[in-house]
Structure formats: C-alpha cells, structure tokens
Amino acid sequence: MNDSREKIIEVYDLVKRFGHFEANKHLTFDVYRGEIFGFLGANGAGKTTAMKILCGLSKPTSGSVKVAGVDVNRHPEAVKKRIGYMSQFFSLYNDLTVKENFRFYGGVYGLGKKEIQQRTRYFLDKLNMQGYESMLLRNIPLGWKQKLAFSVASIHRPDIIFLDEPTGGVDPITRRQFWEMIYEASENGTTVFVTTHYMDEAEYCERVSIMSEGEIKALGRPRELKDRYGVKNMNDVFLRIARNVE
C-alpha cells in the first residue's frame, strides 16, 4: 500500500517468546496517522500479546517497535503518555463518579486542573450527559460506560487510542454510536487501533490484519482481502485464514 501519511506505529520483525513458546512470530507492519486499523484474530492468536507490547506494557524478545516515534523497548513510559487505552473489561472505576473518573485519569495523563475541567465539560456536552457528572459509574448503563471510557481515553488528545474489544456486550445502537466516535477521532488525526470479534466491524476499518498462531496471515483493506479470497464478507475471510475453512 502506498500511503504518504506519517507512520505512527512501526513494527519490524517483532518476536515475543515465553520460554520455548512463540506468541508473536516475526510480525512486521505499519499503521498511519489518522488510520482506523483493525487487529483481528481468534483467542490465542497472539494479538493481545502484541497490543501489550505496543502499549509499553511488555517488552519484545527481539525486533523493532516504534509508537509515535518512541522506541517501545527503550522508553516504554514515554509511549504510555502518547496513547490512550480502553480495555474490553472496562477501564473506569465504578466507585467513582463520572467527574471523578475524568479528574483521576486527566491527572494520570498530566493535565492541569483547568484543562481537565474543560475536557470533562466538552465530553459530557458531546454525550448529552451534562446531568450525570455526579453519578457513580456503577449506576450508569454499560453502553454509556463504554462511551465514557472512550472519552476518558481521549482526554489528553493522544496520538493513538488502543481499543481492546470495545463494543463487547453492548446493543447494536450503542455499537453504531461508538463507531461514530471512532470515525470522529480518526478525522481529527487520532489513530485508532482496535481489536474486535465482530467481523462486521472489521468492514469499518481502513485496513485490517488477521493473526493466526502468532503470525500475521493477511493485511490489507477489507475490500482487497475479500477479493483476494473470493468471498463476500470479512467473516468468510476470517474463516478461510484462521480456521482453514474452504
């Protein structure tokens, strides 16, 4: 793919071993600024291991990994300041209010009090949640929690947001609204790196990679991959690659 945009993630020959087991086998790929990049694979394919390395939470055994121009192996803490992260298991604190979650994470990311207040007000207005700032997270429906979690991950205007199965368990309407937030972030220049097990969501990504047994088996635009494998949807592409279904 010929792309003149800035490379925001650069991975070359990444290997991650646990003893004799290779979780990631010589991964090489780039991701561009403002791109929505899908990172797909069945459980155990190695995608979570790779994502942890990209986020500075784990070190590669060998290979080169740069995120927002930072060498992950040498400066993992610097990487963490340039990214936002949202876990599939929900990353906010249920015992804090909406406003307290924004304040806590804004402080973690090094924002000043005034900027935290401005950013909190911006996101609450955007989500039409102006009257919810003092409500405990445990009392807010899951779909709203997920949208809040995405907003909190964006509070410091990161270069990249990593989303790990962000729409798991939410209803179709909320999924659509969540993807509207992803598109808006992308249009504003933020790279979105997303794992999902919903193959229809893979169609929303600009490019996707599909992992199996620790390797990247396919990488490209959804339309290119469907044409390459002679199928009509990304679910069939995934089945051909990950499960060897003909």
116 pLDDT higher than 90: yes
What amino acid is encoded at 4 in this protein?
S
Across 163-191, average pLDDT: 89
The confidence score (pLDDT) of residue 244 equals: 65
Across 179-194, average pLDDT: 94
Query: Mean pLDDT across the chain, nearest whole number?
Result: 91
pLDDT confidence band for 246 (50 / 70 / 90)? very low
The confidence score (pLDDT) of residue 130 equals: 87
Give the CA diameter of the chain.
Answer: 57
88 pLDDT higher than 80: no
Across 52-65, average pLDDT: 94
pTM: 0.91
Q: What is the CA radius of gyration of the chain?
A: 18
Which one is predicted more confidently, 179 or 168?
Answer: 179
pLDDT confidence band for 42 (50 / 70 / 90)? confident
Cα 124 to Cα 98: distance, rounded to the nearest angstrom: 9
Half-sphere exposure for 228 (CA within 13 Å, toward CB): 14
Q: Starting at the earlier edge strand, list the strands of the sheet with 207-212.
A: 83-86, 160-164, 191-195, 36-41, 207-212, 215-220
The helix/strand/coil state of 154 is coil
Surface-to-core class of residue 205, CB atoms within 10 Å of its CB (0-12 exposed, 13-18 middle, 19+ buried): buried
Burial 180-196 (b: 16+ CB within 10 A, else e): ebbeebbeeebbbbbbb
The confidence score (pLDDT) of residue 175 equals: 86
The confidence score (pLDDT) of residue 171 equals: 82
pLDDT confidence band for 149 (50 / 70 / 90)? very high
**219-234 tens-digit pLDDT:** 999 999 999 999 999 9
Across 197-213, average pLDDT: 90
The confidence score (pLDDT) of residue 215 equals: 94
2 pLDDT higher than 70: no
Which pair of structure tokens corresponds to residue 93?
């604190």
Which residues make Cβ contacts (< 8 Å) with residue 126, sequence separation at least 6?
Answer: 151
Q: Give the single-character DSSP code of 6.
A: P
The confidence score (pLDDT) of residue 185 equals: 94
Given CA atoms 202, 203, 208, 210 in this order, what sign does their dihedral have? Answer: positive
